[in-house]
Amino acid sequence: MRVSKMVWMVCILSIIALVAGCKSTNTNSSTDLDMGKELIVAYPSQPPSLDTHTNTTTATSNIGKNIFESLVAMDSNYGVQPMLADSWEVKEDGRVIEFKLRKGVKFHNGETMTSKDVVASMNRWLENSSSAEETFDDASFSEIDDHTVKLEMSQPTSTALVVLAYSGGELASIMPASVIENIKGDKLTEFIGTGPFQFESWQQDQQIHLKKFKNYSSREEAADGLSGKKEALVDDLYFKFVADSSTRLAGIQSGEYDVAHSIPYDSTDQLKSNPNVKLYSSPNTILNIYLNKKKGLFSDLTARKALATGINKEAILKASFGDSENYEKTHHMMMYHQEGQWSSDIGKKEYNIHDVEKAKELFKKAGYNGETLKIMATRDYEYVYSSAVVLQEQLNQMGINAEVEVYDWPTFVDKRDDPDNYDITIIPNTAKPEPSSLAFMRSDFTGWTDSEELNAILEEFRRAPSLEDAQKKYNDLQAWFIDYIPIIKIGDVNSIYASRDNISEIEYVDGAIYWNVTKSK
């Protein structure tokens, strides 16, 4: 399964870098490594906060996961592995999970982690995280002894461990109880965790500086995704905020930056020809067409079927992202890199029907009578605008009058909450750890899904006695997804990032991983 898909890499240099990376995991004295040096990452946006309990942005999670750790973590196949917990046991028919904690784990402030810290952290996360709210109902953590805690839930929750391990947003991170007790106004200002890097400084609108945590307590298992052995192999890790893509592009080519995120899709050919740069393609976003099911034409299922039948998803993806390496044509609701846990063949035939004449018939049956349909878009994400323009052209071919209304991102987010403002909109959604957390399933979110059938399936899914049993229910969710058409999934979008050729292989699981990464001379 493709979890971190590397593209356009110079093979010989890749092998050299990979071998160097493997050696450096075991020793800090290799003569071919620039040990003790800094790693400079050009990042497109500044996080609003480093409070991983409350913030869903990728900037927060990508930076925060270097500082904070959780009880369990995802491996490269998205399996759940121990991290700050050594083991766990599911009891009382799935309503209780007991975690045995590792002993001797140090926080960055010198305190030793105990059950008190875990309980304080996890109960704050349960109270503040939208992911926790969607998964856990009246749940709480409590101490059994200094190194054992238990999670009690009002009902069996098959996906509990998956959500606890997810690091793509609102990481269930462990902080000192002393820090949590001193939080004022719910605003976290002390960023102290157990991770391989510790927080050093934050220069607003410029950079966040992390330093190697010399007393880090690593696991002994082999590194695998976000699990296993971690080691900070550079002394300083800088995330520099570089909003301008051309500046990031120039900096990675000149060597000013060691790594650059969010490389423009139309710049990849330029970097392919540079022998000093390696390009990576990693799963980033689900691109979805949201339909106003509360008011207007698409409150009718037949109209939703008409649009799903007539559009050409491949054309939208190609126009917005260019090379096919930049996207994946995934028919089911989860992302392609999650297929180790969530996979279904249901809907393959329906993925890209592209039958314009059939669509015309269905629109007529749905009662379309020449009115103008509004497609709401933003240019703050250029591919959203490009997708909207192509969709407008395709609707015209189906005999539908459609116009694109463009707003800046804050206005777009505000206006999408009102069903009077649009008929269709396009939203880039981040991946979720399990399907019942996907935003389009909520009745209070854009699109306003209201399905008794869905509610019944979700009840069975969440109350399944084990994750394996829940995975069997994914087919039921996928069948509902195809029949009800809550949204139309266009495809999975990859983010392009780059590194200099002297940086060892960078693994990607819910974001790039910077521990176990070396920088050679």
- Residues 448-476 have a mean pLDDT of 90
Model pLDDT, residue 388: 97
Whether 205 is in a domain gets the answer: yes
Indicate whether 444 and 305 sit together in one domain. yes
CATH assignment at residue 199: 3.40.190.10
- Residues 252-268 have a mean pLDDT of 93
Whether 426 is in a domain gets the answer: yes
Token reading at 317: 């993806």
Indicate whether 362 and 234 sit together in one domain. no
Please state, in angstroms and rounded to a whole number, the distance separating the CA atoms of residues 215 and 232: 11
Indicate whether 268 and 349 sit together in one domain. no
Tell me what percent of the residues of the chain surpass a pLDDT of 70. Answer: 93
Cα-Cα-Cα-Cα torsion 481, 486, 488, 489, nearest 10 degrees, comes to -60
Indicate whether 240 and 362 sit together in one domain. no
Indicate whether 124 and 175 sit together in one domain. yes
Q: How confident is the model at residue 432 (pLDDT cuts 50, 70, 90)?
A: confident
Strand partners of residue 287 = 428, 491
Rounded to 5 degrees, φ, ψ at 278 are -110, 140
Indicate whether 266 and 347 sit together in one domain. no
Question: First CA to last CA across the chain, in angstroms?
Answer: 33
Domains of the chain: total? 2
3-state SS class at 7: coil
Model pLDDT, residue 36: 59
Domain limits at 470?
284-494
Rounded to 5 degrees, φ, ψ at 149 are -130, 160
pLDDT at 3 > cutoff 70: no
Per the CB < 8 A criterion, the answer to whether 297 and 291 are in contact is no
- Long-range CB pairs of 476-481 (<8 Å, 24+ gap) are 477/333, 477/435, 477/436, 478/332, 478/333, 478/344, 478/346, 478/347, 479/346, 480/451, 480/453, 480/454, 481/332, 481/333, 481/347
Indicate whether 195 and 102 sit together in one domain. yes
Q: Which has more pLDDT, 36 or 467?
A: 467
Neighbours of 453 (CB within 10 A): 12
Indicate whether 444 and 395 sit together in one domain. yes
Strand partners of residue 494 = 283
Model pLDDT, residue 32: 52
- Count, residues in the chain: 521
- Alpha helix locations (H) across 129-173? 130-135, 160-165
Strands 236-241 vs 38-43: parallel, antiparallel or unpaired:
parallel
Token reading at 442: 């909520």
Please state, in angstroms and rounded to a whole number, the distance separating the CA atoms of residues 113 and 493: 39
Return all residues near 413 (Cβ < 8 A) that are at least 6 apart.
none
Question: The tokens 């020449």 sit on which residue?
Answer: 370
Last residue of a domain, one of 245, 276, 307: 276
pLDDT at 11 > cutoff 80: no
Tens digits of residue pLDDT in 352-392: 999 999 999 999 999 999 999 999 999 888 889 999 999 99
pLDDT at 7 > cutoff 50: no
Tens digits of residue pLDDT in 275-318: 999 999 888 889 999 999 999 999 999 999 999 999 999 999 99
Q: In whole numbers, what is the pLDDT of the chain averaged over residues?
A: 89
Q: How confident is the model at residue 33 (pLDDT cuts 50, 70, 90)?
A: low
Q: How confident is the model at residue 26 (pLDDT cuts 50, 70, 90)?
A: very low
Model pLDDT, residue 35: 53
Strands 5-6 vs 277-291: parallel, antiparallel or unpaired:
antiparallel
- Residues 241-262 have a mean pLDDT of 94
Per the CB < 8 A criterion, the answer to whether 84 and 105 are in contact is yes
DSSP state letters, 443-491: TTSTT----HHHHHHHHHHHT-SSHHHHHHTHHHHHHHHHHH-SEEEEE
Indicate whether 101 and 250 sit together in one domain. yes
Indicate whether 89 and 188 sit together in one domain. yes
Indicate whether 272 and 362 sit together in one domain. no
Token reading at 31: 């003569």
Q: What share of the chain is helix, strand, coil (3-state, %, to 5)?
A: 35, 25, 45
